[in-house]
Chain A
Amino acid sequence: MSHSQDRPGFWTRLSNPGQFLIWSRPLVVPLVVVTAAVFLVGLWFALVNSPEDYQMGDTVRIMYIHVPTAWLSQFVYAVMAVSAIGTLVWRHPMADVSMKAAAPLGATFTALALYTGSLWGRPTWGTFWEWDGRMTSTLVLLLIYLGIIALWRAFEDPLRGARMVAILTLVGAINIPIVKFSVDWWATLHQPASVLRADGPTMPGSILTPLLIMFGAFTLLFIVLHLVGMRTEVRRRRIASLERRLAQRGA
């Protein structure tokens, strides 16, 4: 066995934290503007230019927030899982930063999806909470996000923390489909008739268009927030390292 290590590689230099701060800087403002514009259009469609549901009335408009946040709750986890591979395989510092910035966003979107779901549930099902398969697995996803955030906070050394979080995230990526499947199984076992069925592709265009625009708007929102969060995290680490160096010089 000969253990030889060589670093830093091409990858690391290509997007090292300093370079990242430089190239991402001019992206922030345009992205914010685009996101705001798409949101304006989407909200106008969603609130004004789309029909009421013949059964649910205006409450159907909650869907335009609920469905995109529910989608993001899973998309953000996928982003974290890909970053986790970057952390474990390439030990890429930006992958650590990406994971760390994504976790609170994922938790927030998941919480929003649950909150809007429960607001929607009140007039539709007559209760704020129903142990419906989809709501339940979203709740479990929220618990997983909170566990990941707790693990981040438990480590003082961000490098070691990143690797542990990455392992947990990947174990989670394997497990989440199982959780989802088992919860569905459980929900159908206990309540044979599904409470809510989204009509999926048969949705009329008048609902589908605003929904797709809102999907785009929320995804852009995540991208902006993730980018800004990553920039903040890189700078936070720099400040921490400067402070430590200063303390050592003083000592």
Chain B
Amino acid sequence: MRRAFAAIIVRDIRLALRAGSDALTLVLFFVMIGIVVPFAIGPDRVLLAQLAPAIVWIAAFLASLIGIDRVFRDDFEDGTLMLLRHGTLPMELVVLAKLIVHWLLTAFPLILATPVLAVLLAMDPGALWRTVISLILGTPGLAALGAIGAGITVSLRRGGLVAPVLVLPFAIPILIFGVGAIASGIGPDLTGSARLLLAAISLMLVAIAPFAAALAVRAGED
């Protein structure tokens, strides 16, 4: 079981790294949003620093929506998922392995690139630290929602467009608490409770996603 789990993770990471620069493109997209926004709202450092958490989260939000379609699509089309039905792993664990890879490839690089955005958006070190923490806590939830959306649309040839639309409303709490865990505006400091709520939502979604997506993937072949 453990060997099969590791085999899926290693294979998917190999495929993704060799298939060129998907992860790199995402990072580029993520950083570019940080570069483009100041052109839209002006180079006011105070204003930028104030908006920085929101900008970073929106960038991460969009970047994670872009990568959804890759989670199951290729494996579905070339028959890999069909054969994995009778692998040693239950489909739920296959999905969990793919979820982990999805997070490693789409969310982890963004977290590494956050300091670049922090410099560009005039964040102070404290805000950067809070941003990184909130991304680490929130992105697994986004990845889990992405996996559910990908599973539901896997048998649709043009699922790439539908999946983000399905997933987006459900991701709103992550956005709310994600930004809430960074910003310390006027009023009582709620970043601590936001951080806990964010972690709770992420954990719950990661717990649900393997079952929901495995159900969808199995139904997709029938």
Contact = CB atoms under 8 A, between A and B. Distances in A.
Contact flag (A, B; Cβ within 8 A): yes
B170 A175 contact: yes
A144 B169 contact: yes
Contacts of A150: 162, 165-166
B180 A179 contact: no
B215 A167 contact: yes
Interface in B70-125: none
Given A143-B168, A168-B166, A185 B180 contact: yes
A183 B201 CA distance: 14
B152 A179 contact: no
B149 to A, nearest CB: 8
A34 interface: no
Contacts of B166: 147-148, 150-151, 168
Nearest to A174: B208
Contact of B172 (A140, A147, A148, A189): A140
Contact of A160 (B155, B169, B173, B197): B155
B156 interface: yes
A154 B219 contact: no
Contacts of B158: 154
Interface string B140-176: 0000000010011101101100100110111011001
Contacts of A143: 168-169
Interface residues of A, number: 29
Given A147-B165, A168-B166, A178 B173 contact: yes
Contacts of B212: 167, 170-171
Interface in A131-160: 140, 143-144, 147-148, 150-151, 154-155, 160
Contacts, number: 86
Given A144-B169, A175-B170, A178-B173, A186 B180 contact: yes
A80 B165 CA distance: 19
Contacts of B197: 182, 185
B146 to A, nearest CB: 12
A143 B164 CA distance: 12
A170 B180 CA distance: 27
B177 interface: yes
A183 B148 contact: no
A164 B180 contact: no
A88 interface: yes
A154 B156 contact: yes
A192 interface: yes
Interface string B177-204: 1001000000100100000010001001
Given A151-B162, A185-B180, A186-B176, A140 B219 contact: no
A222 B207 CA distance: 35
Interface of B: 148, 151-153, 155-156, 158-159, 162, 165-166, 168-170, 172-173, 176-177, 180, 187, 190, 197, 201, 204, 208, 212, 215-216, 219-220, 222
13 contacts: A143-B168, A147-B166, A148-B166, A151-B153, A151-B166, A154-B159, A160-B222, A167-B151, A170-B212, A178-B204, A182-B201, A185-B177, A186-B180
Nearest 6 pairs of A and B residues by beta carbon: A182-B173, A143-B169, A163-B219, A147-B166, A182-B176, A186-B176
Given A154-B158, A164-B155, A181-B173, 16 more contacts: A147-B165, A150-B162, A160-B222, A164-B216, A167-B148, A167-B212, A167-B215, A174-B208, A175-B173, A179-B170, A182-B172, A182-B173, A182-B176, A185-B197, A189-B190, A192-B187
